[in-house]
Structure formats: C-alpha cells, structure tokens
A and B are shown apart, each in its own frame.
Chain A
Amino acid sequence: MLEGLFDPRRWEITLSSMEGFWEGFAFTLQVVIAGLALSLVLGTVLGVFSTTRSRILRGISRVYVEFFQNTPLPVQVFFYYMAGPRVLQAILGAPSPVRLSSFAIGALGVGLYHAAYISEVIRTGIEAVPRGQMEAALSQGFTRVQAYIYIILPQTFKVILPPLCNQALNLVKNTSVLALIAGGDLMYNADNFVSTYGYLQGYIMACVLYFIICFPLALLVQWLEKRSKKRPRAKTIPGITPEPAKEA
C-alpha cells in the first residue's frame, strides 16, 4: 500500500479535499478546550480533596482517581456512547433515550479521564508546599478555603506546570478516541477519507495536524521542566535590595 505514497495525483486530491480535515481539526480543538476546562476544574477540586483532613473527601478522591486511572478511556467512552443515553433515560424518566452529542461525549470522556491524572498532579504539588504555610495562613485569619486559594495553590504552580502541560498533550492525543464512536473529530475524518479514497495520504495529513497541536506543547513541557529545575533567584528591586557586590 506504500507505492502510492509519492504519487503527485493522490497528493493533489488529498490537498483539494482538506475541508473535512479542517472541520475535524476545529472539532478536535473544541473538544480539547472543553475537556481541558472540565479536567482542570474537577482535577483541582479532587486534588484539594485528597489533601484535606476529612476522611470522606479523601475517600471520594481516591476512589475516583483509582477507577479512572485503571480503566481504559475507550471503554469509558463506549460506555457513555452505548449505555449513557438509556441510563439518562432511566434516571430522568424521559420517554426516549437521551441523545448525547459526540462533542458532549468527547469533552466528558477526556475531561473525566484526565481529571484523575490532574488530581494526582495537584496533590503532589500541594504536598510539596511546606505544612507551615497552611498554619501561617490560618494564624493570619484566612479560612481554610481562602488559604488554599490565596496561599497554597499559587505556590504549587511551579511544580505542577510541567506535568500539567504533559496532561494537556495527552488529552489532545486522547480525543482521537472519538473516532471509535463516529465522533466527527480529526482522526475520524481522516479515517473516513482513507476508507473513501484508499489513500494513505489521509493518515499523513492527520499526523501533521496532530503534530501541529502537540509539538508546541511538547516543547513547552521541556522548557518548563528545565525552568523548574533552576534555583529561584531573589528579585532586585532598586533602592530596596542591596546593590550586588561589584567584582574586584
């Protein structure tokens, strides 16, 4: 099947039917943004839960994380797709199965799945902040929630940014799971093109388009990792911090 790879006519046809690819590209990006938003919010909440003193909240977070990390994303997405509408029908008492759009399934699927991973990232970030910070904040009259928002979480950023971006990268790749349920995303449209024309070029186009999204993220991860290993240096504020000693 590789013989047609350098056939200029096939490339011409591929390049002239790019609308499907761009449509899928835009759809994938939308799912990524919605999924990322969901997983960040839910992941932060669950991550904070796992560091609280409440046994129940810690338990909820633990069970959630273990379930979503140890079962495959495709199985979860198949479940939302095949059983979701009828489960919703049974719960809501609707007369017919509740239709779920593939956007909803995609955003929910990758969002819930990566929330488990992001929760673990947030947890390790919070655990890296010294305990004294919380005590100091409480002694200054912050409530626990305020202390998390204003004192603890901002300090975790430096530790969690590299793994967080790595999760974003994985999330982009995992949106391709929608192709398994006819989801209209980039992978699905590319696969459609290949099965219509029988040209390998469709997969190569998909490869290029995914690479365009993911490679900048991969570079960002590398840069953040390098930066987080550097030791912080004190800021110089003119007039307040002492002048650096001049070399003799």
Chain B
Amino acid sequence: MEIFTPANVSFIMQGFLKTIEISILAIIFSVILGTVLALVKQYCTGKLSIFKWLVSAYIELFRCTPNLLWILFIYFTVKGNDIFISVLAFTIFTSAVMAEIIRGGLNSIPKSQFEAAQSQGFGFFASMRLIILPQTFKTIIPALFSQCTTVIKDSSYLAGINVAEFMFSAKVVMGYTSDLSQVLLLYGFVFALYFVLNFGISLIVRAYQRRVVAA
C-alpha cells in the first residue's frame, strides 16, 4: 500500500509546522527568561544575593535532569492545549541553558564597557539595554543558534506525550502500513527534513562565524 498519499503527506507536514511553531515560541521565551536569569545571577550581589543563589539552584537543577522529565512533569501538572504545555516545558528547561550561554557572553564583555557607560551617565538598565546586551548577543550568536537546533531536535520528545508534532504524525502514518520499504521511506523522509532544517541553521552559523573571523 502506498502511504505517501496527498492526505498523509499534508498530515505529516502539519506536524512539521507544529514542530517549528513550538520551537520558535520556546526559543523566544527562553531567550527572554534566560536573559533575566543571567542578569540576576551575574549582578545580584550584596543584599540581593539570595536571588543569585535561587537562580543558580534553578540552573543547576535543570542542567542536571533530563528534558523529558520536565515534559512529562508539565504534562501531568498543567492543564492547557498541547502548544501551551510544550512551550512551557521547553521554556523552563531551555531558559536554564540559555542563561549560562548569555552569562558566558556577559563575561566576555570588557569591564571598560561598563565603566564607560557609567561615566557617560547611563544607569544600570540603560547601559545593559543599550550597550552591554547588544554586544553580548553578538558574541553568543553561534552558541544561541546551536541551542536552537537542540530545541528543534528535542521537540521530538513531545511525541511521548502525544503532541502531534513531526515525529508523532509520522508515527501515526506509519501505523497504517506494515510494508518495510514504506516504513524505511517514511523514516528517510523524517530524517531528511530534520536534517535539512538543522543543517541549514548550522550552515548559517558557520557562514556568520567566517564573516566575523574575516572582519
């Protein structure tokens, strides 16, 4: 039986769109939350250092436990539609990774930049927003994008909680055939699409790095 019918292909491609949708939302939210976490861990000292310890604990907790655990955890505790649950699970997990990436970027900015900003009358938030963070993000773009491919890849864990993303849709279609060649063809299709997406991103990063090194 032929399984690459127009209906099946469009069903699988809807899953692919869902994968992309979830990944993009998760990345946007985790960059925002990650930035906040990184700033707290880096600059909350003195009386505020309790926040610094809380954030450090948060980062270590999520760095040392599997992504799938948090997907199942959120699926079990939070009610909502599948996109909301997926994005939430990925955001709490990925923001810890993002925070460490952003902190690495903050550490690479020379101290003189802070001093110069302050001498020009910028307050803390203004100097962060206008001077420090733009430079930080420029230096961490490669790490940031490679984390994006990780999110895209890990979104296939969502097949475990029956979110109709790419892998799950492909599995549903696979259930209609027992012909080995059809199954292999379908897997080939899934691998190829993930590969094109992630390899494309890594090519962009490499081109960017070459440009930065050349400049």
Contacts and interface: CB of A to CB of B under 8 A. Distances in A.
A200 B187 contact: no
Nearest to B73: A203
A174 B66 contact: yes
B202 A70 contact: yes
A70 B63 contact: no
Interface string B4-46: 0000000000000000000000000000000000000000000
A1 B76 CA distance: 8
Interface string A169-187: 1000111110110000001
A87 B184 contact: yes
A188 B51 CA distance: 34
Contacts of A179: 68, 72, 160
A71 B188 CA distance: 11
B contact residues, range? 35 or more
Contacts, number: 114
Contact of B184 (A83, A173, A191, A210): A83
A69 B199 CA distance: 9
A67 B195 contact: yes
B215 interface: no
Most buried by A among B69, B76, B190, B194: B69
Nearest to B190: A75
A79 interface: yes
Contacts of B65: 173, 207, 210-211, 214
Nearest to A173: B66
Interface string B57-96: 0001101111111001100110000000000000000000
B76 A71 contact: no
Interface in A153-201: 169, 173-177, 179-180, 187, 190-191, 194, 200
Interface stretch (B123-131, B133-141, B149-157): B149-157
Interface of A: 1-2, 66-67, 69-75, 78-79, 82-83, 86-87, 90, 169, 173-177, 179-180, 187, 190-191, 194, 200, 203, 206-207, 210-211, 214-215, 217-218
9 contacts: A1-B76, A74-B156, A74-B167, A78-B171, A83-B183, A169-B63, A173-B65, A203-B72, A217-B64
